Amino acid sequence: MLSGPMFEPSETEVWKSSYNKSGAHYNIFGTKDDDLSMKGLRQLFPDGEANEYNLCLFSTSGIHGSYGTIEEAEKDDNPSVTFLVIQPRIVCMRYGNVQPQSKDDFDFLKKLRASSWKELKKIGKAQ
């Protein structure tokens, strides 16, 4: 079976292409349901670490949520944080609202945020 971003279907359990287009190259995916967002982020970032292929920004708002931070969500009874995953090598973005439910979820998101900023700072610099 073929796999990888090139062969990704237009709709999976978690993600749905905004263009109803298969393949992650030059595509944008939104989460199908906020309840699945944490699962989707953990699939893309199993250890909570971003890299040059997958980065994540939080509190992105736009048309899909609020500007609330991870720390603000920790204090909220109904926590929700918007996110934008950037996959620069394949020109793909993924977005949604994540609803962390546990300390582990919040720790995962903070680790992902920190590692994403670390990777973003490297873009365009000599290594």
- Per-residue pLDDT, 2: 47
- Residue 127 covered by a domain: no
Boundaries of domain holding 89: 10-120
Q: What number is the average pLDDT over the span 5-17?
A: 90
pLDDT category at 4 given cuts 50, 70, 90 is low
Domain total in the chain: 1
CA dihedral 64, 110, 13, 51 (to 10 degrees): 100
**pLDDT tens-place string over residues 21-54:** 999 999 999 999 999 999 999 999 999 999 999 9
Dihedral over Cα of 69, 15, 91, 64: its sign: negative
- Residue 58 covered by a domain: yes
- Residue 16 covered by a domain: yes
Neighbouring CB atoms inside 10 A of 52's CB total: 13
- Per-residue pLDDT, 1: 43
Q: What is the pTM of this model?
A: 0.92
β-pairing, 55-58 vs 27-31, is unpaired
- Residue 2 covered by a domain: no
